Structure 1
Amino acid sequence: MNRAPLVARKMLQYPFARAYSSVVLSSLGVAAAVASAATSTVDGPHTRPVVKTAIPGPRSKALLEEMGKSLSTSQVAFFTDYEQSCGNYMVDADGNVLLDLLTQIGSLPLGYNHPAVMAAVSSSSALTPLVTRPSLAMFPPSSWPELVQSTLLPLAPRGLSEVTLMMCGTCANENAFKAAFINYMDVKREKPLTPDSEEYSSTMLNQPPGSPKLSILSFMGGFHGRALGTLSCTHSKPIHKLDIPAFDWPVALFPRLQYPLDQFVRENEMEEKRCLAEVEEKMEKAAKAGEPVAAIIIEPIQAEGGDNHASPNFFKGVQSIAKKHGASFIVDEVQTGGGATGITWAHESWGLTEPPDVVTFAKKMIVAGYYTTLDKRPKEGYRIFNTWMGDPIRLVMLKAVAAEIRSKDLLSQFRESGDVLLSGLRELEECYPFLVHRARGQGPFCAIDCHTTNQRDTVISTLRSKGFNLGGCGEVGIRFRPALVFEPSHASLFLNAFEDTLAELSR
């Protein structure tokens, strides 16, 4: 395989690490200082993977046994030394240094122990909300309006000016459902609600009209969370849903595109038209059954379901159908938002003529919640409510992250890293088609498939043994979720190891 010239050309353009000013961290006990010299890099002392033991190693195995006495351990991969982890590199409990292309399931925007974030949470102004953790919907601090307006509103998707904060991606989606239901009924309601309305008494018995028969339409392969409503809209893996009662809500097929895209243009267009026709059919069927769809929820990329993509025309078609039926169009950007695809919001690449009704977020945004328009705000208090309604320390962190992204133009670099990574994956599938295929992605948010689950698991475990951490998606996919400080040089380092691994497995 002749990949060296491509990598060499790209590598000439990018230095391995960018310099950051050193910061002096306070004694919060969050982590040790990652650097002390002005020439320190975001990766701290780490310049490459270093593997000393098997992964998991003896220390991780001992901790696993200890933890198993009181907590579930079936999903634990290995234990991590977070104080020693820096930038793109995580260090495990046995001292192994791994280039992390998964970054806590895509939730670390600037990697581990980034100096700017550490400085932000170490400031005296961050200590009080960290210790007090106010109930923001009832007793917000006096600094809260300015912090929200200076941090969250500049990041808002175009056309959306209202933000509601939550604790995680699941509850962001769950409460987006509630907001959609409330809005749907507000539009349909002929007269204002009063405390003596039949709605008030009937809802206490879970009966109409207070508890109306409404539904959410979702897509096969989607993942939106593990609460009861979101789990009813999750269709990625059976184990997530097994034994849990679910709402009988409509689910439509999501397109299964054929790759390479330029060789299957007509086939993919027909597939998307077929899926849009089914969405229309499901909407009409739900309305006739007396359980109309109040919202359609969709991911720009079906992450947990296998990194499934669709064209902008497909998403425009879904939005058009939602609008036709008076349903909210909810775009779940929990995984793709905050720059994960190389742009702040993945849906903004679709060229929509009007914004989605709701955009949910979490992960790389650090704080969770949803954006919408002012008219979608419930008229009464306590309808979208919990004890905390977000976390002020997370917003302090997000402010530092957003400033770092702007000052370093990280998204431009991130897109370039994605070009290196995705082009390398495509070259590898050409060379080893019997091992990997269907390389796809938007920015570094990309994936490649093996042909069987066992084959995929072998590739991941082999790469982990060489010091590269990544994860699976769907049944056979390998997914990449690096931090925004991921550079083309990191991509090249990984691709060389990936090529070596595929060569070994093909012998």
Structure 2
Amino acid sequence: MSYILVNVLPKAHAYVKTKYSTYVSGINCMKTYSTYWEPKEPIVRTKTIPGPKSTELKSQLSTVQSTGTIQFFADYEKSAGNYIFDVDGNALLDVYTQISSVPLGYNHPKLLNIFKDESNLKTMINRPALGVFPGKEWPEKLNSILMNIAPKGLNKITTMMCGSCSNENAFKSIFIWYQNKTRGDAGFTTEEIDSCMINMAPGAPKLSILSFKGAFHGRTLGALSTTHSKYIHKIDVPSFDWPIASFPQYKYPLDENVAENRREDEKCLSEVQSLIDAYKKKDKPVAGIIVEPIQSEGGDNEASPEFFQALQKICKTNGVALLIDEVQTGGGSTGKFWCHEHFDLEYPPDVVTFSKKLQLGGYFHNNDFAPKEPYRIFNTWMGDPSKILLLEEILKVIKDEHLMTNVEAAGKVLKQGLLNLEKEFPQLLNSTRGRGTFLAVNCSNSKVRDSIVSTLRLNGVQTGGCGEISIRFRPALIFKEAHANIVLDRFRKVLRSM
């Protein structure tokens, strides 16, 4: 029997055995889940975070790389479950999880064992150019793992590395689809072939993708033209002249503002149609619309199922593809594996992009969005087979441990607790919203928000901001009601101090 040693606290302390023969050092631990042990509560040992060791490492790194975004240096050998450890010995209850990308917490023993298998290890080491030299197991893995979680009605997949390149290549698939509708069965003309090589029409057609204010879809050039969350992402970088519609900005509580929020939906949808008409007149027809089920980076802005249903009807009426960006929302944290499943859409979306919790990137689509010619959607790696192995085990744990049910239970506790804090501190908090554990709350202003986030960290809770005034919660799927209560207790303590 093999053992894994995770040194959470100094080795002088006793070891505690878990179900999977995993050992975690420490006396301040409890069994919070059937698969591992983790600290019973946050541990904060330094007066500031980053502490001295993180500060020194940041200084070292700054000699070769920009470090302005670094909050602290983590110790991933010691991190366990819902807790991230830093190099200064602080253990923070992590409800941010690497920007919503850690599904099973840190050092889950089921994942740690994957690359002990020699065949899996070779898959990781001999990383292939999947578009030309895939391994013999690749067709079976795609069918049994990724297609097993495909959004209903989508039977094709294109794998990629990350969220940005997933959206970037999804745009290309949409443009190709749109031109194929216009071209029919005719082949490329000589004029198209020649003109595309010098970035001119008709080979490089004047098409556009409609996006929404507050959206975030990536930082590569095409995706950046559809990103509108923070100026720092975009300034000094050329962008396409593509239409940007308003995304609903609701008043909360939702049940007390139904009529006003319905009018907000109607206003935004009318703007979408007007922009489609205007860009058609400008000879830059809209080929596709990209939208997040919940705008994440832009402030956790949500829209009603009725909004998305009507948006899909607009797309169908105008011959426009609907791309739903599930990079952050996909993977179960909203209580359904795909957030758009909450919307009861009449038809499947045309394209659904993913990354983060699914470990690799890509997009689901149907036959119409698969180019007929080779190399039209292509890069060297086209994803990573080792990440598929991780995802395979993640999906097993989600099923075996009923984590979707867990998300709903923990999310109810966390959301109700945030609503209670709103009532207790109305001058500081408002507009709690979200689904499952994918939640957010607004602060009275950005200064208050930033102060709360930094003070929460000093009280052992790692979260993050989004938009101008929001705090977002992105815990792992193993986050339980007990963890939610720790977060709420620490949050209340911080609010009282303000």
Please indicate, yes or no, whether the TM-score normalized by the shorter chain is above 0.5.
yes
* CA distance 1:191–1:100, shift in 2 (3 Å): same
**By how many angstroms is 1:435 displaced?**
0.7
Q: TM-score, structure 1 length as denominator?
A: 0.92
Identify which of 463, 471, 492 aligns with 1:470: 463
Instruction: Give the number of aligned pairs.
Output: 478
Q: TM-score, structure 2 length as denominator?
A: 0.94
Aligned position for 1:292: 285
User: Mapping of 1:131-142 within 5 angstroms?
Assistant: 131-142=125-136
Identify which of 236, 258, 263 aligns with 2:229: 236
Distance 1:494 1:85 in 2: 18
Contact (CA 8 Å) 1:438, 1:448: kept in 2 or not? yes
**By how many angstroms is 1:46 displaced?**
1.4
SS at match of 1:152: helix
Aligned position for 1:13: none
Aligned position for 1:501: 494
**Which residue identity does 2:246 align to in structure 1?**
L
Aligned position for 2:11: none
Aligned position for 1:341: 334
SS at match of 1:438: strand
**By how many angstroms is 1:130 displaced?**
1.1
Contact (CA 8 Å) 1:43, 1:89: kept in 2 or not? no
* CA distance 1:494–1:386, shift in 2 (3 Å): same
Contact (CA 8 Å) 2:20, 2:35: kept in 1 or not? no
SS at match of 1:84: coil
**Which residue identity does 1:248 align to in structure 2?**
D
Aligned position for 2:19: 21
User: Mapping of 1:170-189 within 5 angstroms?
Assistant: 170-189=164-183
Distance 2:193 2:19 in 1: 58
User: Mapping of 1:251-270 within 5 angstroms?
Assistant: 251-270=244-263
**Which residue identity does 2:79 align to in structure 1?**
S
Aligned position for 2:417: 424
Once the two structures are superposed, residues 70-98 of structure 1 have per-residue CA deviations (whole angstroms, 9 ceiling, x without a partner) of 11011100000001001100000101010
Aligned position for 1:60: 54
**By how many angstroms is 1:43 displaced?**
5.1
Distance 1:62 1:262 in 2: 50
Structure 1 vs Structure 2: percent identity of aligned residues?
Answer: 48
Larger fraction in strand: 2
User: Mapping of 1:44-193 within 5 angstroms?
Assistant: 44-53=37-46, 54-193=48-187
**By how many angstroms is 1:374 displaced?**
1.6
Contact (CA 8 Å) 1:23, 1:35: kept in 2 or not? no
Aligned position for 2:381: 388
SS at match of 2:471: strand
* CA distance 1:149–1:90, shift in 2 (3 Å): same
Distance 2:160 2:25 in 1: 33
- Segment drifting more, 393-402 vs 196-205: 196-205
Identify which of 339, 343, 356 aligns with 1:350: 343
* CA distance 1:38–1:75, shift in 2 (3 Å): closer
Q: Does residue 372 of the first structure (1) align with residue 365 of the second (2)?
A: yes
**By how many angstroms is 1:35 displaced?**
8.2
Contact (CA 8 Å) 2:19, 2:36: kept in 1 or not? no
Distance 1:497 1:106 in 2: 21
**By how many angstroms is 1:375 displaced?**
2.1
Off by >2 Å, runs of 4+ in structure 1: 33-45
Aligned position for 1:309: 302
Question: What runs of 5+ residues in structure 1 fail to find an aligned partner?
Answer: 1-18, 25-32
CA RMSD of aligned residues (A): 1.7
Distance 2:297 2:230 in 1: 8
Aligned position for 2:4: none
Contact (CA 8 Å) 1:219, 1:253: kept in 2 or not? yes
Distance 2:370 2:269 in 1: 29
Distance 1:445 1:191 in 2: 45
